[in-house]
Amino acid sequence: MATAVVARPVSRTQTRSREEEVLVWPDLVFIEFIAAMLFTITLFLLSFLVNAPLLDQANADVTPNPSKAPWYLLNLQELLLHMNAAMAGVIIPTIWLVIMGAFPYFDREQHGQGVWFGTEKAVRLTIVSAVVGFVGTWFLILWDSGKIAFFLHGWFGLSGGDSLRFLENVRSVQTQLPWPEWSRNITYSPVNIVIIGEDFQHLDFPAWLVEQGIPTMAMVGMSAMLIFSLWRVGWVVTRRDALIVLFSAFVAAYGVLTLTGTAFRGQGQELVFPWELKVSEGIPGQE
Amino acid sequence: MTQMQPSAGAAARRIEHARQAEARKLSRRSFLRVSVFAGLTLSVGAMAAGFLGFFNLRKPTGFGGVITVVPARVPKAGEEPSRISEGKFWLSNLAGAQGDVAGVGGTGGILALYWKCPHLGCTVPWNPAFNGAAVNFPGIVGWFRCPCHGSTYSRAGIRVYGPAPRPMDTMAVSVNSDKSLNVNTGVITSGGPDNPLRAKPYSG
């Protein structure tokens, strides 16, 4: 078999005249860049010379009560009220973003892509999951703020007595149950790792349960139970159905968290009605 | 040819002169080398000096040092905690088992509670009217409540609910003979259920 050897044309650098060349950075960008540099340098020098007249507004010891993030982050702040800080602020958002990014890899069905409510029971699933997410999130918030126990006690005179005190809120599970002493100090690592003053050799099981265990069980367990029970009644058929359930419940929960953090959290992050919400500037003596 | 000799000698002298002048001048290469190493020495030296500076412990006044609280600012036993702004702490004067909501056997006294929330560091205010803990702690009005995430602490800094991982931190207190207090704001101990036991007896 003969192999044809085709000589490639030798490329030679083409000479161009100056007029043919086009700058990769247009002139305007250069001008803007120089302006930005001048502005930055001026601001830098100015900040050396002149102090911003913030005075008491920049006093970290004066904290408004309640202290709130911008409204679009109040869902995260609301989560922070109920669980471990790293979990609520970093781990859960990251995991959820990864899960949402994985949706198209889990639901590989081509048929009906991009169609709103594209499966047979989609509308029903959306409504049911949104209602469950809405009610479930409110229930958990009310429980953890002690309001359910408070209402039962105040409205109906019901009291669990000493045996049910641990149900008042999530933290009571740790503080009101007679946990044996060993369970508060379970050694699980042969060496002690201390990160920012935190001891990672011993597990305080009741604290772990309250700050991480119960919230994880609530979030993963309730989502799984919702999908499972809707599958048992035959409404969830395809993977897309399961994702519709998961996402609708998430949107409802996210909305409730944002709403609660924005309009229902008063001083000391106490759960109040929106018309009772007053903000104190936190100036000493004027609270 | 004979006429060329002196001129050749002059040229050689000129060349030798120029060579020596060139040799006396700093060459570009050595200038750059010296600059680079001088710059490197300066910056490393500055970093080392900055690092060593940390070992020169200064004696802070105000927060971080010892704060003397005059007797007039010390609350009476059972009164509302008072705010000592310059030391960033609350001074709680517990009457008996007051604030000992975990039941560790507190007998009262003076407690300096660092007002930084052990959760995420907000300044915790005293809420004298709050009794939302009425179900599990009936009859106790007045709690420390964090404005950021709602962690709730008793008068002795014991966390009863909210996301904070531990009770409020305490500062070292000593009582002087004239009933004033020395609070060492540089000695901060992580809060624990034994907070009420750390209270210093005080009779003012």
pLDDT digits (tens, 9 = 90+) for B131-160: 866 667 778 888 999 999 989 999 999 998
Structure confidence at residue A5 (pLDDT): 60
Spans of all domains in chain B:
4-53, 66-198
Q: How far apart are CA A214 and CA A78, in angstroms?
A: 16
Q: Is a pLDDT exceeding 90 seen at residue A176?
A: no
Closest Cα of chain B to A104: distance in Å? 35
Contact A64, A265 (CB under 8 A): no
Closest Cα of chain B to A63: distance in Å? 6
Q: Does the beta carbon of B146 lie under 8 angstroms from any beta carbon of chain A?
A: yes
- SS3 for B172? strand
Contact A63, B122 (CB under 8 A): yes
CA B118 vs. chain centroid, Å, equals 14
Contact B190, B166 (CB under 8 A): yes
Q: How far apart are CA B89 and CA B199, in angstroms?
A: 14
- The amino acid present at B82, given as its one-letter code, is S
Structure confidence at residue B99 (pLDDT): 84
Q: How far apart are CA B179 and CA A189, in angstroms?
A: 48
Q: In 10 A of CB B87, how many CB atoms?
A: 23
Cβ neighbours of A270 in B, within 8 Å: 130, 132, 145, 150
pLDDT digits (tens, 9 = 90+) for A255-280: 999 999 999 998 888 888 999 888 88
Rounded to an integer, the average pLDDT of B89-99 is 88
Q: Which of B136, B147, B160 is closest, CB to CB, to A65?
A: B147
Q: Does the beta carbon of B162 lie under 8 angstroms from any beta carbon of chain A?
A: yes
Tokens matching residue A78? 């609301």
Q: How far apart are CA B46 and CA B188, in angstroms?
A: 32
Q: How far from A8 is each of A3, A5, A11, A143, CA to CA, in Å? A: 15, 9, 9, 77
Rounded to an integer, the average pLDDT of A201-218 is 90
Please say whether the structural domain B66-198 has been given the CATH code 2.102.10.10.
yes
Q: Is a pLDDT exceeding 50 seen at residue B1?
A: no
pLDDT digits (tens, 9 = 90+) for B36-53: 999 999 999 999 999 998
Its ipTM equals: 0.73
Cβ neighbours of B152 in A, within 8 Å: 268
Closest Cα of chain A to B48: distance in Å? 25
Q: In 10 A of CB A23, how many CB atoms?
A: 8
Percent of chain A with pLDDT over 70: 90
Q: Does the beta carbon of A268 lie under 8 angstroms from any beta carbon of chain B?
A: yes
